[in-house]
Chain A
Amino acid sequence: MTPANARASQSSTTAAPKPARDRTLFTAELSQALAESRRRDGAWGYYPGRAGRLESTCWALLALARHRGATVDIAPLRGWPAQKGWLIDVPGAPVNVAFNALAAVVLLQHPDGRPLAAPIVSNLVSTQGMALPQSDAIRQDNSLQAWPWIDETFSWVEPTAWSLLALKSARRQGIGQSSAIDVRISAGERLLADRASRRGGWNYGNSNVYGQELWPYVPTTALALMAMQDRRAEAVVRAALQSLQKDSETERSAFALALAAICLRVYGVTASAIESALVDYLELSRSIGNVVGLAMGLYALSGAHDVDGFRL
């Protein structure tokens, strides 16, 4: 029975509630599982035994560092294959802009990571999604150019959120040409504002198609909110924060709940109910060996509430 079904069953019976798990013990188990799934070359695949990939490695590094209360270990990224300033996730495949931005965020959390992050930051400044003609079918401004997943495609919420986080971190640390970074940050923020759902939050990219409002999703909303954390007075951000808290009650998985918990921590909002649910849902991540799910979960459940590496 999946956690979702288990929760439904629990709610429909009078059975005694499951005792809360010891959080310290649980996170120690997650940490051990994550450490054991590390490859010999120091990277992590998306699943144990798989090829090392950029996203899973970044999340595992962040999670283990946070759980141990240590500085993030950037050694695996230092030796990562690179080309023209980009880290190469899959040789022969297009450069993944979003996960390079995530890598920059990780590198910028370590004093020695700044020189390694600088070329990525420079590439992010010069990368933009394609502008397209306006479409009657879709309510959005297609001229806005933020960040695509891969080159020569359209801009989407996730790569834009990661790129904004990377550039805002770089700007704070004085890396890169500040005026150029400001221009790109402004473009990214305009795109997120344009693509926000009217009820608050973000779908993957389009907010209204053929006259129908598209659902915001928890993971995309959490990421976009993290990218817009320095704009929290804006209406679009306030609405998204409300949407995130509400949708986290129903859209449940380790991936969604972990990102929601991390985002709420960045915003200084208590997320104990989400964290409790996350503990349950991480069982599925563990059973299928989902490294990113485990790492996000460990990151979300570890460390002090008033400190977070994603906080700008």
Chain B
Amino acid sequence: MLSAGRMMSTASDSRLSRRDFLAAISAAMAAGCWRKAPFDRHAFTVPARSAVGLFAATSYSADLADIIFRGFQELGVNVAGRRVFLKPNMVEYEPGTAINTHPAVVAGAIAACRRGGAAEVVVGEGPGHRRDIEYLLSSTGLYDALREERVRFVDLNHDDVKVVPTKSWYTDLRDIALPVSLLQSDFVITMPKLKTHHWAGITCSMKNLFGVVPGAVYGWPKNVLHMRGVFESILDLTATIQPHLTIVDAITAMEGDGPIMGKPRQLGFVAIGSDLPAVDATCARVIGLDPAKVPYLPPASGYLGNIDTRRIDQRGESPDRFAARFELIPSLEDLRLPDR
């Protein structure tokens, strides 16, 4: 069988494996090696509690604008007067698969932002795998959806860039070029598709940020991030960009050999929250993964957000309503929650 290719590189093998990464971090913490943490402790505040909303949406024909707007209200999301930047996940196209954030969810988010009084809404993505943005825009249906909504699309791979300092340094990168359209917005919403990921375990709000790294600067498939370590890059990108909100397309998710070759799996909800680790941890639990074993989440909980259920307030539907046992590739089986 031919596959569309993977967002992986052999370079990943030169970095730490999942288990090694967790072990290294634990050992460093235990030994007090990180007297100086790989981030400025004063620049981050983990909230005492974080709200994560799961809102039922049985299909893409549901009134997603209404569902997302109700989510905004329930979570106290205020986009009034903001220049909102929506960053969906658009990687590859193959009919009948669940690779990308569905255009209906993007359209719903646009409408919800407008209803919330956003001054401007822009959508942008920089596919890390396929360089051919026109092919992806037209084949996924996103181009038609955006034209109908009269929303500007920014090709983040080819946008103007500005080199900015990174705000944590797990990768050792001290600065990174980022698209100016993203930097100039004042409310960034990451909009991932919930999928298993053969390297990271899960791809959700935080991993989706790989797409903001400009390919025209770093190449395809954004090899520098793989060379510097997938987990490390997830952490540093989240710390540097600090999105204000995530809206997760978990209506039809992906299980198995994600993020491209997996199978569609109906889950039927949209997850919303401003604490990205909290949302990712909640989504991980829903699909049967233990957030404490997803390598980037424990370190994220030290400075970016909460992953412990005792510090997460669930809004909307209970995660139990959507709980599923996702199919995993063998190398990810050790991430599974004990009761799944």
For residue A12, CB closer than 8 A to chain B, the reply is no
**Residues of chain A within 8 A of B143, CB atoms compared:** 2, 284
A130 contacts B221, C-beta separation under 8 Å: no
**Residues of chain A within 8 A of B236, CB atoms compared:** none
Cβ-neighbour of B135 out of A50, A96, A256 (below 8 A): A256
A50 contacts B219, C-beta separation under 8 Å: no
A93 contacts B177, C-beta separation under 8 Å: yes
A135 contacts B13, C-beta separation under 8 Å: yes
- A150-B2 contact, Cβ under 8 Å, with A92-B175, A252-B135: no
For residue A113, CB closer than 8 A to chain B, the reply is no
Interface size range on A against B: 35 or more
Query: What is the interface size of chain B, counting residues whose CB is below 8 A from a CB of the partner?
Result: 46
Closest to A220 in B: B131
- A158-B217 contact, Cβ under 8 Å, with A137-B13, A138-B10, A252-B135: no
Of B55-63, B114-122, B151-159, B276-284, which stretch is located at the interface? B151-159
A284-B160 Cα distance, complex, nearest whole Å: 21
**Residues of chain A within 8 A of B13, CB atoms compared:** 132-133, 135, 137-138
A90 contacts B217, C-beta separation under 8 Å: yes
Of A115-123, A185-193, A209-217, A230-238, which stretch is located at the interface? A209-217
A202-242 residues with Cβ-Cβ distance < 8 A to B are 203-206, 209-210, 212-215, 217, 219
For residue B78, CB closer than 8 A to chain A, the reply is no
B6 contacts A255, C-beta separation under 8 Å: no
- A153-B217 contact, Cβ under 8 Å, with A46-B159, A132-B13: no
A47 contacts B134, C-beta separation under 8 Å: no
Q: In whole Å, how far is A39's beta carbon from the nearest beta carbon of chain B?
A: 12
Q: In whole Å, how far is B322's beta carbon from the nearest beta carbon of chain A?
A: 28
For residue A63, CB closer than 8 A to chain B, the reply is no
Question: Top 4 nearest A-B pairs by Cβ distance?
Answer: A149-B219, A46-B158, A2-B138, A253-B135
What would 17 A/B residue contacts be, using CB atoms closer than 8 Å? A2-B144, A50-B160, A51-B160, A90-B163, A93-B217, A96-B216, A133-B14, A135-B13, A149-B219, A150-B217, A153-B219, A158-B219, A217-B130, A254-B134, A255-B131, A255-B132, A255-B134
- Which residues of A line the B interface, CB within 8 A? 1-5, 45-47, 50-51, 53, 55-56, 89-94, 96, 98-99, 130, 132-133, 135, 137-138, 140, 142, 148-150, 152-154, 156, 158-159, 197, 199, 203-206, 209-210, 212-215, 217, 219, 251-256, 281, 284-285, 288, 290, 292-293
